[in-house]
Amino acid sequence: MIGTGIGNLAAGIYLIRDGGFKGDQITMMGLEEHGANDGAAVSDYENEYSNQALSNNKGFLAKGGRMLNEETFENLWDVLRSVPSLDNPGQTVTDDILNFDHAHPTHDVGRLIDHNGPRVKNNKDNYRHMQFNNKDRMLLTKLMMMPEKDEERLNNVSIAEYFASSPHFFTTNFWYMWQTTFAFKRASSAVELRRYMNRMILEFTRINTLEGVTRSPYNQYESIILPMRKYLEDRGVTFINNRKVTDIEFKDTPLQDDIIVTGLKYEEVDNDNKEGHLDIDENDLVFDTNGSITDSSSIGDINTAITEKDEYAPSAALWKKAANKFYQLGNPDKFFGDRTQSEWLSFTVTTNNHFLLNEISRITEQEPGNALNTWIDSTSLMSLVIHHQPHFKAQKPNESTFWGYFMYPRRNGDYVQKPVIEMTGKEMLQELLGHLAEVDPSKDNIKNHTQEIMDSIVNVIPVYLPYASAMFNQRAVGDRPDVVPKHSKNLAFISQFCEQPFDMVFTEQYSFRAAQRAVYTLLGIPLTEMTPMHHYEKDPKVMARAAKTMFR
């Protein structure tokens, strides 16, 4: 296993559970312990960001927040039913998450916020209304109804290009909600929007309240990753956390038809980058994470802005070397060659009391745990996620944490006059407080408590993520390799950058399903035995509700 992210962890479980492997037959090699499903004390990221001097390593950090979905994450729930809970003996991780979510259902009442405050009250702009015109409806319906076999008609077509004849689409409540819920930009691929509209059509009717969002009890690292790792470790799987694979060696075959891995070159990063080599037998299996959305990320703190790394994503660089040897292995440059399509900047706030959290709840009119708030008038398009507290097991009773992000980090702030990417954590907090104060209806406006809030801050951690939504970049058929490429005898790709029919990237479900497809294909298990998926886009009742929502 090249990479120790959630996809390879799932593949390890499939190998043991469904493939009859023993744990000691599996080795996982990687560097980034805290990937896309992360969450920990800032001090736990010391090795990951050892070359970035920080003035304050206090508080907590989550680079991002992942929204789960009970109805469409079929592979995830199936695998996690095999993983014992770390917190509740006799339960599984699926039990943990679904029991928590059912006890704390999401109902967002402050989803969109403009200069007048939450849009829940204004009849005209109330975000229950999608605000489509007939041209918007026609184009969106046409996109949804396009047969999968015709997707190549959308090769390298952006969402902006697809809706060029109806720019009104980008002013609707629907677009503000959809893009910030799922992380689309106008420059993103129209193909991926098509897939989301089909796969997530059940959520279309409730996108304004995000009632379909399933939340884990704690951050995804503690709620999902750690139990999966323990399951594998308990069964003898070897984890090597200091090894960076730098090249994949292949057997010379006539006309380069067969893809057979024969060796891996690597560096040991905490051992003066000592180089090594691992022989791979033709009967061994190699699973590669061909691209990570948290690669090349940069961290700051309350007093320190991030320093952008110019490097090509390391996991994609390995993929690129392989793709240069075999034509059927895709085109990583489509996803990692243009940061403007994919970059975000997130920030995690830790406070030593609950004053700021309570003020945000008052202004947004909802309790912690109710998903997402987006300030649609913010130049950099700022959103907040206020988690159910505590979000980290090590969080003290007096501490609060929450997370937010800017979708356009190179734009200037509205209250701090510099590009967001150049701001310290303190300046990002000032930008947030400016937006909160603007919509605060109270006579005792939050701006009157600025010093009290600043005194409560433990840390504000900015993280620049150049490839956060790279899987949505404009692409063509063939730019993503198949999970098991044609003629591959022992190599599979498990990531957000392999090709699978129908399913949607930027979800744990996609990685889990790629893991199952990889294991089943290489072990000769019939793909007809893969976990069944729902097709709500074929359910007449669901589609009738969606059609009604189009005119809501």
**Where do we find the tokens 């979800």?**
507
- Write out the two tokens for 147: 């047969």
Is 266 a known active-site residue? no
* Whole-number Å distance between alpha carbons of 391 and 220: 10
Q: Which residues contact 515 (CB under 8 A, 6 or more apart)?
A: 7, 8, 10, 11, 14, 75, 287, 494
Q: Which of 14, 45, 196, 231 is catalytic?
A: 196
3-class DSSP state for residue 203?
helix
For 57, the 3-state DSSP assignment is coil
Count other C-beta atoms under 10 Å from residue 361's C-beta. 16
Separation between Cα atoms, residue 418 and residue 426, nearest integer Å: 13
Judge whether 319 and 289 are in contact, CB under 8 Å.
Answer: no
Count of all residues that appear for the chain in the document: 552
Residue 351: its H or E element: strand 344-351
Residue type, position 346, single letter: S
Residue 14: C-alpha distances to residues 4, 238, 500, 515 (Å): 15, 16, 18, 8
What type of residue sits at position 508?
E
Helix (H, G, I), strand (E, B) or coil at 153: helix
What distance lies between CA 309 and its chain's CA centroid? 20
Residue 39 class from Cβ within 10 Å (0-12 exposed, 13-18 middle, 19+ buried)? Answer: buried
Question: How many CA atoms, within 13 angstroms, populate the side-chain half-sphere of residue 14?
Answer: 29
Contacts of 226 (CB under 8 A, 6+ apart): 86
- Within 13 Å, how many C-alpha atoms sit on residue 539's CB side? 12
Place of tokens 């440059």: 333
What is the layout of strands, in order, in the sheet containing 274-279? 243-250, 261-268, 274-279
Q: Supply the residues annotated as catalytic.
A: 196
